[in-house]
Structure 1
């Protein structure tokens, strides 16, 4: 912050020079702030913009941004994560934007945590709080960019090589589930705040209202191959070879989620207090309390890729949470890892010409 001290100047000319210099600094600062959210596509090496087409909703959902106005990745720096994201995106014809991330200081992270503590809330550990603030920065980017819709992913995200076909089915069924008028040709309508497509589980119950919309999708992970805490719901409540669109019930992990303009605007004030153990848990709570209208596709279409278990890799969040140190990228980047619940991983096909399903589990 510029704090001129007029008493420090001895004459009028010096005062005038100070005022001119201050004005220049303010203009420069505004220019820097204005360019903070400049849109760029490091995966393609060029800027791009979303243009509306006359394609059908299903066809639009299979375009290079999967029917959203922009695909946005949360990433703090180039790494094995972004290189794998680029490889998978190029293989499947997707175009991501990685906006410049704010460098939130340790003091800011601690201040954010203290907001929750002062209200007696359960607060995130340091690494989780830092990731939470990064998600908030991306939501601000969506609003500042004037986007009608965006799909936000974490930079280690993975998906099936058939993602465009899958998203065509998502379009058909989200539109039907939310009652989109035929005159509205948007791929998913906008009668939702969060469209949660990348998660690590969600409850299925007979009490969901409105009732889920079940649809066939032969690319879906087989139930017995599924890994995660919600496996029993798939086994007991969902027909094999099918997914369902439903209201979100305890969805967790924000591997990939869509937001509408109004959804992003609602989320920012709701999530500016560290009141839970992590961003995804807080988001799930607001969905549960109906402060946000959240729709989930179950089971998920996006999950995170993990380096080999014996590589010594630990995520930045876990390192920040004090769970240990991670190994150097060179020790694992070129060794095939795993992705849970994605039958034909785009990352593993692009990088290793292979599939890489995580072993099935109940947790």
Structure 2
């Protein structure tokens, strides 16, 4: 059977065989590579060390895997965004799941939730068999900022390296700031951009909120306080790609304001109450624990996969970290799970941001993203794609009416 690539030249499709129980065909979307980009950081090289440049095409992880059905209507837009940003995505074919794959019939999970759960476990097994040391798992409805590769991922990886290096030493510190970050690359940073994988298990890079408490509490003034942030290991750093508080999700803005976090400041902190699994990084150790124990359909009775991950972080011993606000957020619109379950229910986080999304025309907590279609191009239009790669993906120009960012 011949597989037709969605894009003729910018995307090269290759077949990759990963052994699980049988040989599975994996579509690997290789994206057009840029020549080396200049550093976005105003730094000069130190002796024996080079300044950090843009992240690589897998954002510093071994691979980026995407949970996506073959007939998903969201895949085309995802691939276009990946092309403009110049990141490589691996999209394994999903098996045809049967009722016996769903586990106990007494489980209180919807069919849509179970299919999503099986999709995540399938990707984790693919990663385990790949021999890679780390992987980023994405759901196929995520959106991200045009500066994901050139600014955001390098900042987060440097922050993680700083925190983990301090924790592995004799330092008793529990909080760090931009002044503590070592932005420079060396052999260790090149091998493990996010720090030694033996020192962390899961990194939430995309979620629908880690609000430091469950949804049973409100978001009125004082729902969290600066002392709550001081009590958790964290690093705060300036990130000019973050929207100001008026343009952040209302609950995210409330969280940061009440914690005393300045505007345009992002946090990396030990996870407290992370919700949703839009994008998360794992190591081989944590992936194996999730598949065999913590998120196994046979060994747990949680209602949904993201709940299993939340409990694993809070009670299962996983060393989880959250990027807050997140780098990835699911695009506005009906989810695939809701479509399968014929549900019209809008989750509370989405309902709270509905008016803001319509006003901004952007995905929550994303400053200049791809959801509105502003950076779409016709299949096979190499000229437009190359222009978008250069001006939007590399230079970070938000080429939307009235929105162009300063160079």
Answer whether TM exceeds 0.5 for this pair: yes
Please say which of residues 234-243 and 272-281 is displaced more in the overlay. 272-281
1:207 & 1:143 partners in 2: Cα distance? 36
Give the Å deviation of 1:107.
4.0
Distance 1:33 1:228, change over 3 A: farther
Deviation (angstroms), 1:88: 0.4
Measure how far apart 1:167 and its partner are: 0.8
State the alpha-carbon separation in 2 of the partners of residues 90 and 183 from structure 1. Answer: 29
Which piece of structure 1 moves more, 228-237 or 295-304? 228-237
The SS at the match of 2:132 is: coil
Taking the aligned partners of 2:93 and 2:264, their CA distance within structure 1 comes to 39
Partner of 2:287: 264
Query: 2:165 — aligned with what?
Result: 179
2:27 is equivalent to residue 40 of structure 1: yes
| Corresponding residue number in structure 2 for 1:197 | 205
Q: Which runs of 5+ in 1 are unaligned?
A: 1-29, 46-53, 118-122, 308-313, 326-335, 358-363
Supply the distance in 2 between the matched residues of 1:230 and 1:39 (Cα, whole angstroms).
37
Q: Cα–Cα, structure 1 residues 288 and 31, in superposed 2: closer, same or farther, change >3 Å?
A: closer
- Rounded to whole Å, the distance in 2 between the matches of 1:239 and 1:151 is 28
Superposed CA RMSD: 3.1
Equivalent residue for 1:169, pick from 127, 134, 155: 155
- How far apart, CA to CA, are the structure 1 residues paired with 2:49 and 2:374? 29
| TM-score under structure 1 length normalisation | 0.73
CA contact (8 A) 1:65 1:94 kept: yes
Shift in Å at residue 321 of structure 1?
2.7
* Cα deviation 1:313-334 (Å, max 9, x = unaligned): x332113334169xxxxxxxxx
CA separation in 2, counterparts of 1:306 and 1:236?
A: 26
* TM-score of the superposed pair, with normalisation by structure 2: 0.65
Q: How many angstroms does 1:43 deviate by?
A: 5.8
TM-aligned CA distance change 1:76 to 1:228, over 3 Å: farther
Q: Any idea what SS the aligned residue of 1:184 has?
A: helix
Distance 2:239 2:343 in 1: 39
Q: 1:213 to 1:100 in 2, by over 3 A?
A: same
Equivalent pairs counted in the alignment come to 294
Task: For residue 318 of structure 2, give the secondary structure of its aligned residue in structure 1.
Answer: coil
Pick closer, same or farther for the CA change 1:319–1:63 going to 2, 3 Å. Answer: same
Q: Find 1:143's aligned residue among 128, 134, 138.
A: 128
How far the C-alpha of 1:223 sits from its partner, in A, is: 2.0
Deviations along 1:273-298, whole A, 9 cap, x unmatched? 35223211221111111521101110
Q: 1:171 to 1:31 in 2, by over 3 A?
A: closer
Asked whether the 8 Å contact 2:31–2:87 carries over to 1, the reply is no
Shift of 1:103: 1.6
Unaligned runs of 5+ in 2: 1-17, 33-47, 169-185, 213-223, 346-359, 378-398
CA deviation profile, 1:129-182 (whole Å, cap 9, x unmatched) = 211111111111111112200000011111100012111111111111112787
For 1:176-255, what aligned pairs fall within 5 Å after superposition? 176-179=162-165, 184-185=188-189, 186-189=192-195, 190=197, 191-204=199-212, 206-207=227-228, 210-227=232-249, 229-237=251-259, 238-255=261-278
- For residue 75 of structure 1, what is the aligned residue in structure 2? 68
TM-superposed deviation, 1:31 = 8.5
Residues 94, 56 of structure 1: alpha-carbon distance in 2 compared, 3 angstrom cutoff: farther
